[in-house]
Amino acid sequence: MKLFGPPRDSSEPKRLWLDLGDLGDLVNPAGPHEQWQDHGLGLLRTILHQNGLTTDLLSTRAFTSWDQARKSLQGYDMLIMNVRSYTFPMAYRSGRIFKEINPHGIVITGGMHATVALDEMTAIPEFDKICQGPGETIIVDLIRDPGSFPRVIVGVGSKSMAEWPMMDRTLWPKPASWKLSRKFNWPLEPQCGWGPPAVATILTSRVCPWQCVFCNENSYIPNMGRRPVEMVIDELNFLDKKYGPIGSVVIHDSMFFQNPSWLEEWLEKYPRKAHKAWPYWAACRADTVRQWPDLFEALVRQTNWNTVSVGFESGSDRVLRLLNKECTEEDNYFTIDLLTRIGDELEREGKKPPVFWSNIMLGIPGETREDAFKTMRMVKYTRRILPSIAFYAPYPGSALGNQLIAEGKSLMTKENYHRFPDDEKVKGIDYKFYRELLAGRYDDEVSRGLAEKRQERKNYMGALTKA
């Protein structure tokens, strides 16, 4: 097993950062998204290394068995992990193995799961230190002298992402098979169907101010200033020159289309100052598109925002209200019509039309069959769409997730915080109906009303009133 990292002074503890994900995902991945790299790991290892605290790196994604993991974790004094809810099962299993083979070693954890489900983290005796919240200002002291910290620590973040150093992407794990490395473009990332390789993933903002009950990130990610436009462009240009050529960009922000003054600056500078206006994937909400349609259109046309990720979630006002989405059916259809029109015009000009990466949830508690038909009707109505459909998952940290967990209705246990879109995740949901719906059994019901919807949507005037 090849380790990464500079040689270490022999008096230094042997520290290991373990990247988490399903076994084999860096050998023979189940899908493209399993190959994305972890910006939390990248940022914190960069800060550690810049402060002289080196760490070796291994990844559970590069192992194909737990036996292999057991052998590789041998001989370390410290294990460090970024634990998200969906990687919690990997984390605690790794922690257990680590302590069995290195009984005097120390396990230091942080990450989203520590913030949203502290009880589950503290229940793992092998986790010696658990850091909630952001780790960038605390990581150096914690790793240098863990003994001076209590078991549970509350991290403090930077005021602005401008304070984050540029991440050293060579501190990310490498693809672990010859087959995968041929197309991976490490330390950039592989193609996933959104744009040409090599892909550069980047974060420009860290938090979303909305309060959707299935997510509400701002209840657990502290507010933080956005990364300045120039820094984002400089980083992309640096990556292009050093590791490129970049083919496309994925902006991993939870919500890219917020903060109009930042977006206006991006609109002005990205096409001019980036080595190339690489096509990119980024997220918006239907209500803000309806609020700032001109800005949206200009960004799509002039900055090559050609995969528009949008959390439509549902095509029914009832369900959108249940989700506190603060978007309406009308907002959703307005956004679909607007991107369709822009796409038609670009196509006529011989250019590639933009597509939606459309996030849709089914199996939401309280959703009726008619609501689900309306959602699928909206999907069918959308002309250029990459649908990303999942059964609703009650993640801890979100208002609805916390409520369902408290009521004993969640089927997501600490053994299976997994995230396969078609897993059964909530008690009392008729998953058989949803599977049949997705298999096309209710196509008549879904299509009924589609022609009327198309007819109705030809008149856009009513839609222009919200701003």
DSSP-assigned beta bridge partners for residue 307: 281, 355
Edge to edge, the sheet with strand 129-132 lists: 56-59, 15-19, 78-82, 106-110, 129-132, 152-154
Contact string (CB under 6 A) for ligand SF4, positions 378-407, x = contact: ------------------------------
Residue 285 lies near ligand SF4 (rule: CB under 6 A) = yes
Shortest Å distance, C-beta 397 to ligand SF4: 11
Residue 210 lies near ligand SF4 (rule: CB under 6 A) = yes
**Closer residue to ligand SF4 in complex, CB, 225/245:** 225
**Closer residue to ligand SF4 in complex, CB, 39/285:** 285
For residues 300 and 306, the answer to whether their CB atoms sit within 8 Å is yes
Shortest Å distance, C-beta 186 to ligand SF4: 28
How many whole angstroms separate alpha carbon 371 and alpha carbon 365?
A: 11
110 binds, among ligand SF4, ligand B12, none (CB under 5 to 8 A by kind): ligand B12
**Closer residue to ligand B12 in complex, CB, 211/237:** 211
252 binds, among ligand SF4, ligand B12, none (CB under 5 to 8 A by kind): ligand B12
For residues 409 and 426, the answer to whether their CB atoms sit within 8 Å is yes
**Closer residue to ligand B12 in complex, CB, 269/419:** 419
How many whole angstroms separate alpha carbon 155 and alpha carbon 39?
A: 17
Could you identify the residue written with the tokens 């990119």?
Answer: 280
How many whole angstroms separate alpha carbon 137 and alpha carbon 155?
A: 7
**Closer residue to ligand B12 in complex, CB, 129/290:** 129
Shortest Å distance, C-beta 307 to ligand B12: 12
Which H/E stretch holds residue 270?
A: helix 260-273
Quick one: which segment of 161-169, 210-218, 232-240, 263-271 binds ligand SF4 (CB under 6 A)?
210-218
For residues 146 and 128, the answer to whether their CB atoms sit within 8 Å is yes
Residue 304 lies near ligand SF4 (rule: CB under 6 A) = no
**Closer residue to ligand B12 in complex, CB, 320/393:** 393
Interacting residues toward ligand B12 by CB under 6 A: 21, 33-34, 36-40, 43-44, 80, 82, 84-86, 108-113, 116, 131, 134-136, 138-139, 142, 155, 157, 203, 206, 215, 217, 221, 252, 254, 390, 393, 395-397, 419
Quick one: which segment of 45-53, 191-199, 204-212, 229-237 binds ligand SF4 (CB under 6 A)?
204-212
Q: Token pair of 459, please?
A: 């008149």
How many whole angstroms separate alpha carbon 271 and alpha carbon 451?
A: 39
299 binds, among ligand B12, ligand SF4, none (CB under 5 to 8 A by kind): none
Q: Token pair of 354, please?
A: 């933009």
Residue 217 lies near ligand SF4 (rule: CB under 6 A) = yes
Name the E strands within 5-89: 15-19, 56-59, 78-82
Sign of CA pseudo-dihedral 157, 160, 165, 168? positive
Quick one: which segment of 20-28, 155-163, 179-187, 205-213 binds ligand SF4 (CB under 6 A)?
205-213
From candidates 107, 139, 212, 251, binder to ligand SF4 by CB under 6 A: 212
Q: Is 103 helix (H, G, I), strand (E, B) or coil?
A: coil
Measured CA distances, 40 to 82, 169, 402 (Å): 7, 11, 24
From candidates 78, 192, 208, 300, binder to ligand SF4 by CB under 6 A: 208
Q: Token pair of 402, please?
A: 């916390």
Phi-psi region of 259 (alpha: psi -120 to 50; beta: other; left: phi over 0): left
Q: How many residues bind ligand SF4 (CB under 6 A)?
A: 10
How many whole angstroms separate alpha carbon 53 and alpha carbon 244?
A: 29
Residue 311 lies near ligand SF4 (rule: CB under 6 A) = yes
Binding stretches for ligand SF4 (CB under 6 A): 208, 210, 212, 215-217, 254-255, 285, 311
